[in-house]
Each structure stands twice: as C-alpha cells, then as structure tokens.
Structure 1
C-alpha cells in the first residue's frame, strides 16, 4: 500500500502489537481474560499522556458476573477547540478456545512459530498461497479480533501524543466476554454513562473493530458495516404424552414433535429477514434433546430445542408471533404423520384404530405464566420465586438450561397437560441496529464514512464496500437500540430466567444510544484452526480509515449544536 500525504505509516507497530496480544491466552471465561486486561492497562499507562493524566485510564471489573474479569477504558481530551463531541473506539479482548489445535495448541498463540509449523501441515491450497505470500498472519485471535484491538491501541497512542488534532475527544474501550455473555460491554456502559456526566462527553459515534470476511467464494470485497444484525435464541419446550414403548401409540413422544419442529424451522428461507436489500441467514438448531435424566422404557415427558435466529428489522415480539405460526404448522404435520402411521400399524396388526385425542397447541411463555397466575395466584408466584432462587445454586446450568428448567417446572402447574409446544427466549438478545441517516448524528457518521472510503480506496487494490448490517454477533449491539419498548418487553417477559439468571439493563443502552459502525480487520476462518488475517488491510487500511472517520465526525456539527453555539 502506497502511503499518501496525511496517511499514517503504522503497519509494523500494529503488527507487533497484534502479536503481543495474540501471545496472551485470553480465552473467554478463563484467567487469561484478567491477564490481557492487566497487560493492556499497564501498556496504556506508560503512554506519556496517561502518565500525566492517570485518571484518564481505568481497569474496571465487570458487575453481576460469575467470572472475575475486567474492561480497560481510557480517554483523550482533544485540545483543538473546546468541543465535547466524543467518538468511542471499541473492541473485545477475549477469544474462543483452542481445542481444534489439539496437540499443537501452544502454537495457536505464537503467530511466527505457527506459520513455520503450517508450512509442513496439510492445508488447503488457498491457505498455502496466503501462507507463502507473506501478507497473512495466522493464530488464535489474530483476526477475531486482536488486530482490531491493536489498531485501536495505536490510534489511542497517536491521539494521546497529538491531542491538538482532536476537536473533541476519543474514548478507548477494550471489553471482555464478547464471545459468551457480553458482561464486558454491559458493565462498561456504566463507566461510559459516568464519564458522560462527569466530563460532559457528547457521544456522537462509536467505531467497533471486529473482523470482516468474504461473504462468498471468490469475494474480493473488504466490508465495512453500518449497524448490525440482531440475534435471538427462540427456544421450545415440547411436552408429550408418556407411554411405555411397548404401547407406543397410546402416547405421544415429544422428540417426534421436536424433530418436526426442527424440520420446519431449520434452514427455512421464509424465516430470513430482509431489510435495505440485505437478508439474514435462516435459523439453525443449536440444541435438540429430551429432558429425561436417565434411561427408562417410557417415552420422554418433554423435549427441548433452540435455534440461532438473526434479524434485521423484525422485533423480538414479531419473531415470537412468526415462530408461533411455524410451531403450529410443525405440530399439525407431526400429528398428521402420527395418525397416518398409527392407521397403517393398526391395519398391519389387525387392531382397531382410535382417533387421536390431541390437537396442536402452541403457547408463548408469557401467556402460560398469566394462565397459571390466574389459576393459582400467589401460591404459584411464591413457589416459582423460591424455585428460581434454589435453581441458581446449580452452577452447572447455563442461562439456556436454567430457562428450560423454569418452564418445565411451571408446566407441572398446568391443569390441561395435553401435549404442547411452549415458546420462549432463553439467552441474551443482541439487539439489531439500523443506521439509516434518520438522525443528524447518523447522517454525519454515514457521510464521514463515505468520504473516508473515497479517500482510501485509490491506495488499496481491493474494493472497500459499505453494507448495512454486520452479519455476526458483536458488542456493537449494546451501544444503541433500534427496538421500541414493546419489542424489548417481549424479551424480558418471555425469558424465564429474566431477573434471576439473566438480566440486561436496556436503559443503560438507551442512555448511550450512539450510532455505530464496524471497521475491522479482514481475514477468514475465525474460530477455526486456520484463522488468518490480511496484514495490509488490517494493519494499514483499517487504522487510517478509522482515523479519517474520527476526524470528519469530530469536525462536523449537527444542526442542534450549531443552534447551541
């Protein structure tokens, strides 16, 4: 890449920073998360600006978290004018695990050594060419997303040394736990709110630096995203009618219904959400099991399944309504097939066929809870409160199995125990974010991004393409909200673990509510053994693009600010 006037020569420094960060085994939910936070805090504290302003950098433990870990936050006050406009640079420190490396796990954290090992490994031809080109770095977390974090660290150091280039402020955020429960960003919101009040920061934009990848085979584009897809985990507890397997048609196996449910939902294009010309991938099952604790010759009482579900424009409430319809179709299909097979069996065995006693029944959790409160009142609510508190003592239960256990227990109070599908949410909702220019600050950010890409594109060979929705899960989801109150309430009211095992203060997000884009490193095979990144784009284009966007956003003013000034 040819450096034009005004662009920063930063490749070597960001490369070395990336290697240093990769060498720290910061696998989510391990001691490594503490180690990398401490390392970043100590590094930032050595910058002369922060030696002179130690209160401008902090290492803060997450709150309401079962794991001890920390976020690192820092800020630089610009001296070019007296604007309070503030841009947030954010990225996560944790990685997924390295079980896929097997006996070579130690090399996962040593990019140079791992590269030498891979020269003698059987790897795909494309990866072989990238390995030999010299412009690609391999290693766990190199792409997802320590190179993006290294870019942000470089920019923090640069602006700390050159605050006169900032007409406003930047806030640096390195958060933990992105790969699991997002405790990092949800805890960091408290600090961002505190700084907003204490230092009168006007948060006008956030730039996330998570990785981007090709969208199809041979895709030459390097993507930047405005906003992000949302992600839900719709879950289904399926109850059946127990019977001995020797008289199988006298009962209804919930696994049979669950299998039909997965057939109906999995890979179903009707459940793709289109918005602004972009479409989500369809849902895929992440778990399907019955809830029998041990082997018996009785059919199971209940089964449990949940699905990854991406959204662009649908609200969590709309998804519940949509999936209720899909569950009703699946239930009817299961009963129709059951009836046909029962008839054939009766003909073969010379038995008298009897009509099925069941009809499809799908209930949303909120509805079932209200039914039980109406039927049993305080007795039910008091019992369930105690049950949930006692269930918290079982540390083997994650939020998903905790929610299933609550639904299963509540079901015992139902008077009508005919087979039923109960629909609920059992995990974190990562909200969707649409950046369309609907506000003055969104318009400023979009214009700044478009101008920055236009300036950088001539010095980089591959197309830089701006799209609307980051297609993966990221902490971008927790700095703004596009959902209304009704949509968020659908999450709270239909997650059985809400307020006990799981809780998100969405008001904290609304209090920040800053338009967010993603400018991140480019590569492929994140979360895989051959995770790799392109160094030219990641170490040169990304930081320079980000810097241009920062400058243009801070140098702009909304109409409201013009009136105030």
Structure 2
C-alpha cells in the first residue's frame, strides 16, 4: 500500500485554492498551476516534451487541458493506462456570505462552525474525517490522486512496465470541450509513441445512493444522457373565447405529466435502473403580456439511458407524446362539453387532432415542398442567429424549429420532437472483448488487495449515475444511432457539433474510481479523507499494476 495521504491532501488543497469555475479565467489558472506542479518534477525537467498544455478547439472560451506521461523502464511495453479527471468546478454563489472562503478548506471549516447546519453536516464538520470546500469532492481530490501516481512513477520508472498518461481536462461542468478536444491529443500520443491504450481510469466523485448507504462505489461505465426537446404549436385565441383555440402550454403540461418521473421510461440494464426523465425547462415564446394564448411552447427533459439508443428513444418518446396529446384533447373535449352544459351555450365538437412529428421527418417534408429556397433561407437564418450570443444551444435549436415551422403548409397544432444539446453516449464494461475482460479482472484484483485495509465495503456497479466525461472516450452506438442524433438536432453543424468518430477511434474501456463524499454542487460539499486521500490512489494503483503486468503476490 502506498503511503500517500498527506501528499494527495496537499495537492488537493493547492488545486482547490484556485477558483476554477467553469467558463472563467480560473480554468486557465488551474491548468497553469497543475502544469507547474508537474514540470517541477525532475523527470519532466529531463523529459520536457512529456508534459504539455493543449487549448480546446471550437471553443469561445480560452482554456486548456494538461497532459503528461511517464514511460516505464522496467520492461519495454506499449501497454498504456490513461488517468483522467477534470479541474473545473461549478460556481460558488451557493456559499452566500461565505463565498470568499469557498476555496479555502481550513477557513471554510472554521466559518461553518458558526453556522446552523443540518445534523449530518454538523457531525462531519466536528470530526477530523471530512474535508469541506468547492472542488474537494468534485473533483480536485480525484485529480490530486492521479497526480500523485504520475509523480510516483516519474520518480520510479524502473517499477513501471508500459506507460502512464495523465489527462487533466477542463470544461466538464458545461459542454465537455475539454475531453472532446483532448481526443486529438490522445490520438497523437498513440500514433507518435505507439501507445496501446488498455484502459482509462476516471476519478469523478461517488456518493451514497440512499440514506445510510455504507458502500463506496466504483463504476464500470456510465449512463448516457440525451435532451429530448419538444416544440409545441397551438392555435392562438383570446382568453375570453378560450375553447376556440388550443393553448400550447396546456399540451406542454400534459406532456410533462406524461414524461416527468415516469418509471416506464427508465432504461433498466444489467440489473440497474437510472433515474426517470424530468423536465429541465418549460416555457412559451410570448415576448410580453397579451390576453391572447401563446402561439408556441417549448419543453425539454433530461433523459438517462443505459442500453437504449438515441434512435430508440425518439421512437419511444413519439409514442409518449401521442399519449399526452390524446389525453390533452380528450380532457379538453370533456371540459368543453361540461362548460357548454353549465353556461347554456350550444355544444359543437372541437376540431383538434393529435399530431406528433419527429424533426427529421419534418425536414424531409420541407425539402420536398420548397427545395433549395428553403435550404438557402435556413442556412442564412442560422448564420444570423449565431450572432445572438445570449442563445445557448438549446434555445438556438428551438428558434430554428420555430422558423422552420413557418414553412409548413399545414399549421394545425403539433408537437415536434428533436434533440437540442450534447448527446453523452452510454458506456458499459461487460467483458465483450479482451481489454474489457482484463479491466474487469484488474478491478476485482485491486478491490481484493485494498479492501482489507479499509472498513467500509468497496462495491462495483455498472453505470455511473450522473453525467460524466467517460461518455466521451468510448462509444457503444452504431452509425445509425449516431445518425439519429445528427439528423434530429437543429443546431448540428452550426451551434453544435461533436466528432463521434474521434470517440470511436479512442474507444478505450473505462472505469471510475473517485473520491467519496456528500453534497457536490452544494455549499456543504465535502469528501471523506481516508477513502479519498488513501484508498482511491491505492485502488487506482493496483488496477494499473494488474493491467500492466506488475501485480503483487497475494
């Protein structure tokens, strides 16, 4: 077992001390700090090309990834393990009047002692077993663990068979520019140094799955994430004659009732169940108050997948949208009939019919109807829309659909289904090839070696339950599945683009061994010291040793 506690804690605090909030200049500062820490080691002074900073591509924000690698001298081998973690954090506004202490664990702990705290937070604060501060859990301690192993093998290359690549990425908390840009660097290193990537070990945080959960989890893969989005058109009317129109907000509400928290939309796989979809935004496009109902509404949902493809999700949600539309119309008809009865007005059947359109089908229809005139118009429209920097990719997509709807001949109320953001692919480690089998065996070996030195259960699960950048280093989807993402994203190729072929080229088996704690993205963010500063580096090290043929005798 490596004696690493103090060293990992020291580097954790040094990194936490840099306020590296995503999309700020702090991301540059933390990259510089990490680069300096690495370059200060004698190995890298002797091998200066083995450490470098790399700016992200197609990114409006200036920021950098940090790469470093050590070549072992014990025995010549091309086998290589990648250690990855992110250096950016979420913001610190949630710390309120303690913002100035958010990135100083020692000062924050003193300040929190004077606050009214939840019981568990208070218990942890009063012990010497927990460390508080922005980034201590998510995930600068994970990066510090990887740094320790890079440093150790740079000092002891004679113990290392093969190679170790350290990859500290930026922009994990927003748009994954870091890891997606870093793929080109991993590819270059692979080609220039003949690295044979055996596995990637990520170090994102892990947390209890339920109250009282004693387990410390290691994840073999991760959930995928989609953002299915729905542009809903209605029929505008005066509020004083509301049954003469169809309020798109009413249909949006039915859609959310049908989709949000619906366990039938949980993609169960390998005995595990992700969280069901939930709405992340619901709005209409009325710019100001009028007594007219809205013309259109917009809603999108978080959607986790484990085995379903993006193409399958479109088909599934098209049916869900039809159910919601049917329910909305049927309820409206019942209410209209009842209103006519109590008001004494003559009853007439409402004209509304269920209509759900998948985006790529609408596109094909519009091209058939209008040809190049339509295509040229939309190209110019998107170019002009790009000038509005207030629009994120999700609202950009909605505005594109809104404009395209204007070209439809049949403008009766409808739901248009599309994707409006980054697709983070699902990743599983099921032993489908030799490298996956080797990584599973190495992980089991590592737990067997380390578990006797730690009192809490170390348990493996198949899918990391949150979005993380493991999704950007391996790809389970086929070309048709990725095609469904591309052809159903209105911002593709303008506001949004991902080189999924680059992911497929790296396609390395991946696991997550990360710091354990509570309240990531919260003012009480904290990590358990012994597990994070001692157990995590040793687990990671044993996986490395097994994969590269350096395992210890049991």
Alpha-carbon offset, residue 516 of structure 1:
0.2
- Listed as ranges, the matches of 1:21-32 within 5 Å are 21-32=15-26
Alpha-carbon offset, residue 554 of structure 1:
1.1
Task: Kindly indicate whether residue 157 of structure 2 is the aligned counterpart of residue 163 of structure 1.
Answer: yes
Show CA shifts across 1:195-218 (max 9, x none). 111111111100000000000000
Q: What TM-score do you get using the length of structure 1 for normalisation?
A: 0.97
Aligned match of 1:295: 289
Task: Kindly indicate whether residue 374 of structure 2 is the aligned counterpart of residue 380 of structure 1.
Answer: yes
C-alpha distance in structure 2 between counterparts of 1:146 and 1:455, whole Å: 25
- 8 A Cα contact 1:255 1:303, kept in partner: yes
Aligned match of 1:152: 146
Gaps of 5+ in 2: none
Alpha-carbon offset, residue 348 of structure 1:
2.0
Which of 427, 433, 450 is 2:427 aligned to?
433
- 8 A Cα contact 2:161 2:550, kept in partner: no
Aligned match of 1:196: 190
Aligned match of 1:329: 323
Which structure 1 residue ranges, 4+ long, deviate > 4 Å from structure 2? none
Which of 522, 525, 531 is 1:528 aligned to?
522
- Listed as ranges, the matches of 1:504-543 within 5 Å are 504-543=498-537
Of 47-56 and 124-133, deviating more is: 124-133
Say what the alpha-carbon RMSD is for the aligned residues.
0.9
Alpha-carbon offset, residue 352 of structure 1:
1.5
Alpha-carbon offset, residue 255 of structure 1:
0.1
- 8 A Cα contact 2:98 2:111, kept in partner: no
Show CA shifts across 1:238-257 (max 9, x none). 00001111111110000000
C-alpha distance in structure 1 between counterparts of 2:35 and 2:348, whole Å: 72
- Listed as ranges, the matches of 1:38-117 within 5 Å are 38-117=32-111
Aligned match of 2:213: 219
C-alpha distance in structure 2 between counterparts of 1:284 and 1:556, whole Å: 46
C-alpha distance in structure 1 between counterparts of 2:93 and 2:423, whole Å: 27
Q: What TM-score do you get using the length of structure 2 for normalisation?
A: 0.99
- 8 A Cα contact 1:214 1:220, kept in partner: yes
Gaps of 5+ in 1: 1-6, 558-565
Task: Kindly indicate whether residue 312 of structure 2 is the aligned counterpart of residue 339 of structure 1.
Answer: no
Aligned match of 2:253: 259
- 8 A Cα contact 2:57 2:181, kept in partner: yes
Aligned match of 1:468: 462
C-alpha distance in structure 1 between counterparts of 2:144 and 2:532, whole Å: 10
Which of 300, 310, 323 is 1:316 aligned to?
310
C-alpha distance in structure 2 between counterparts of 1:16 and 1:322, whole Å: 49
- 8 A Cα contact 1:220 1:462, kept in partner: yes
C-alpha distance in structure 2 between counterparts of 1:510 and 1:501, whole Å: 22
C-alpha distance in structure 2 between counterparts of 1:435 and 1:74, whole Å: 26
- 8 A Cα contact 2:486 2:492, kept in partner: yes
Alpha-carbon offset, residue 556 of structure 1:
8.3
Alpha-carbon offset, residue 284 of structure 1:
0.7
Q: Secondary structure at the match of 2:139?
A: helix
Of 101-110 and 536-545, deviating more is: 101-110
Aligned match of 1:34: 28
- 8 A Cα contact 1:229 1:433, kept in partner: yes
- 8 A Cα contact 1:274 1:280, kept in partner: yes
C-alpha distance in structure 2 between counterparts of 1:353 and 1:165, whole Å: 86
C-alpha distance in structure 2 between counterparts of 1:195 and 1:60, whole Å: 13
Show CA shifts across 1:405-454 (max 9, x none). 00010000000001100000000111000110110000000000001101
Show CA shifts across 1:32-86 (max 9, x none). 0111011111111111111011111111110000111110011111112111011
Q: Secondary structure at the match of 1:533?
A: strand
C-alpha distance in structure 2 between counterparts of 1:92 and 1:501, whole Å: 24
- 8 A Cα contact 1:229 1:312, kept in partner: yes
Which of 165, 170, 179 is 2:173 aligned to?
179
Q: Secondary structure at the match of 1:331?
A: helix
Q: Secondary structure at the match of 1:462?
A: coil
Q: Secondary structure at the match of 1:76?
A: strand
C-alpha distance in structure 2 between counterparts of 1:539 and 1:524, whole Å: 15
Alpha-carbon offset, residue 231 of structure 1:
0.5
Show CA shifts across 1:103-153 (max 9, x none). 210111010111111111111111111111201000011100000000011
C-alpha distance in structure 1 between counterparts of 2:381 and 2:195, whole Å: 44
Aligned match of 1:561: none
Aligned match of 2:6: 12
Task: Kindly indicate whether residue 449 of structure 2 is the aligned counterpart of residue 455 of structure 1.
Answer: yes
Q: Secondary structure at the match of 2:121?
A: helix
C-alpha distance in structure 1 between counterparts of 2:444 and 2:67, whole Å: 28
Alpha-carbon offset, residue 469 of structure 1:
0.4
- 8 A Cα contact 1:444 1:556, kept in partner: no
C-alpha distance in structure 2 between counterparts of 1:422 and 1:159, whole Å: 54
Alpha-carbon offset, residue 297 of structure 1:
1.5
- 8 A Cα contact 2:75 2:162, kept in partner: yes
Show CA shifts across 1:521-552 (max 9, x none). 00010001101000100000000000000011
Task: Kindly indicate whether residue 541 of structure 2 is the aligned counterpart of residue 547 of structure 1.
Answer: yes
Show CA shifts across 1:228-273 (max 9, x none). 0001100000000011111111100000000000000010000011
- 8 A Cα contact 2:318 2:417, kept in partner: yes
C-alpha distance in structure 2 between counterparts of 1:78 and 1:382, whole Å: 56
Task: Kindly indicate whether residue 277 of structure 2 is the aligned counterpart of residue 276 of structure 1.
Answer: no
